[in-house]
Amino acid sequence: MMDWRTPQVEDIPGIREYMERAGMRGSDAAAANLFLLREKYNTKIAEQDGFLFRKYCGRGLAGRDGLAFPLGDGDIEHAVQLALKDRAEKKKDLKFIYLTEEQAKTLSGLKELEILTDPGNTDYLYTAAHLSELSGRNNQKKRNHVKHFAAIYPDCTLKVQTAFDEQFCKDIVEVEESWFDSQEERVDSAFVERDEIYEACNHWEDLGLIGAVAYTGDGMPVAMSIASKISEGVFDIHFEKSYGDYARDGGFAFINQRFAACLRADFGAEWINREEDIGLEGLRRAKMSYHPDLLLQKYHCVYAKTP
């Protein structure tokens, strides 16, 4: 039986090493997400025989209840057998979720399976060049939004931070609180996300976070974004916020474009993952409006049912 445990901050370096060796690009593979979303999805991890196993209980969300593909350098068939034994001992079905196309093919090579897609879990990926340059006719509206914001707030500056800075984190929280207060209807997910942002600030360096805050000329924080590295050249955007008139004037487009340019120039970003739309039409439209360069499809399957 595997020794499952809730991810802790001290697990982050080891988790990130597994992700980087595997060349993962999905938002589920961001080490910071494994920690920050551990309560939301009741996430557990286990290490055995050189493999990292991840287990999720998504509380009824499609494609978020099961095990992720084992990551390691050994025999994948052996890793699957370990997972199968663990599930059988607990009298549970062995279900794999968050599978990439390649991972789904690997499992299908071991056993004939019905592989199903998870549209709501599809990640939206963009090249860093795309988001930082916003070139081409398709991005004309986004360029206009950035220019509009810059014209209204000509003295707006962007501060990017990797080391923990108390005032910087206070500014991030101030943007989040201003956004939160501006919401007419506060759904449960908004409360959960706010707590995640607080926790991100409390464990900033442990999680390897990179943050950006846009300030007006008088020092007012008006937009923020938080990212982390998934694997070489691939970065995940965990949070992005602007509020009020600043948002209406193009604050989201401004922080998106400026931060992408910084990630590309200073951190070697080649791909930027803006995560999934979780089946929400508004999120889907927002992500599609940037014309993704890659839709990273996720799959799931039931590998074995408990007798």
Pairing of strands 209-215, 221-231: antiparallel
Asked whether residue 186 carries a pLDDT value surpassing 80, the answer given is no
224 and 187 in a common domain = yes
Same domain, 114 and 213: no
pLDDT tier for residue 60 given thresholds of 50, 70 and 90: low
Percent of the chain with pLDDT over 70: 98
Q: What pLDDT does residue 278 have?
A: 80
Q: Residue 285 falls within a domain, yes or no?
A: no
**Arithmetic mean of pLDDT, 166-187:** 93
Sign (positive or negative) of CA dihedral 251, 254, 256, 259: negative
How many other C-beta atoms lie within 10 A of the C-beta of residue 210? 23
pLDDT surpassing 90 at residue 184? no
Per-residue model confidence (pLDDT) at position 282: 85
In terms of domains, do 88 and 189 share one?
no
Q: Are residues 128 and 256 both part of a single domain? A: yes
Claim to verify: residue 99 and residue 130 sit in the same structural domain: no
Are 40 and 104 in the same domain?
yes
HEC readout, the chain: CCCCECCCHHHHHHHHHHHHHHCCCCHHHCHHHHHHCCCCCCCEEEEECCEEEEEEECCCCCCCEEECCCEECCCHHHHHHHHHHHHHHCCCCEEEEEECHHHHHHHHHHCCCCCEECHHHCEEEEEHHHHHHCCCHHHHHHHHHHHHHHHHCCCCEEEEECCCCHHHHHHHHHHHHHHHHCCCCCCHHHHHHHHHHHHHHHCCCCCCEEEEEEECCCCCEEEEEEEEEEECCEEEEEEEEECHHHHHCCHHHHHHHHHHHHHHHHHCCCEEECCCCCCCHHHHHHHHCCCCCEEECCEEEEEECCC
Both 187 and 105 in one domain: the answer is no
Q: What is the pLDDT of residue 59?
A: 64
Q: Are residues 216 and 266 in the same domain?
A: yes
The reply to whether 112 and 166 lie within a common domain is no
Residue 28's φ and ψ, nearest 5 degrees, are: -65, -20
Predicted structure pTM score: 0.95
φ, ψ dihedrals at 57, nearest 5°: -130, 95
Number of domains in the chain: 2
- 173 in a structural domain: yes
In angstroms, rounded to a whole number, what is the distance separating the alpha carbons of residues 176 and 170? 10
The answer to whether residue 158 is domain-embedded is yes
Please tell me whether residues 111 and 196 are part of one structural domain.
no
Supply the CATH number for residue 106's domain: 3.40.630.30
The answer to whether residues 62 and 158 belong to one domain is no
> Mean pLDDT across the stretch 91-103?
95
Are 74 and 158 members of one domain? Answer: no
Mean pLDDT of the region 181-190: 84
Per-residue confidence at 61, pLDDT binned at 50, 70, 90? low
4 within domain boundaries: no
State residue 62's pLDDT score: 60
- pLDDT for residue 220: 97
86: which 2 tokens? 């663990």
Residues 101-140: pLDDT tens digits?
999 999 999 999 999 998 888 999 999 999 999 999 999 9
Residue 293 forms part of a structural domain: no
What pLDDT shows up at residue 207? Answer: 97
Average pLDDT over residues 85-109: 95
State the Cα–Cα distance between residues 254 and 246, nearest whole angstrom: 10
pLDDT digits (tens, 9 = 90+) for 264-307: 999 999 999 999 988 788 889 999 999 999 999 999 999 999 87
Range of the domain at 83: 9-122+298-304
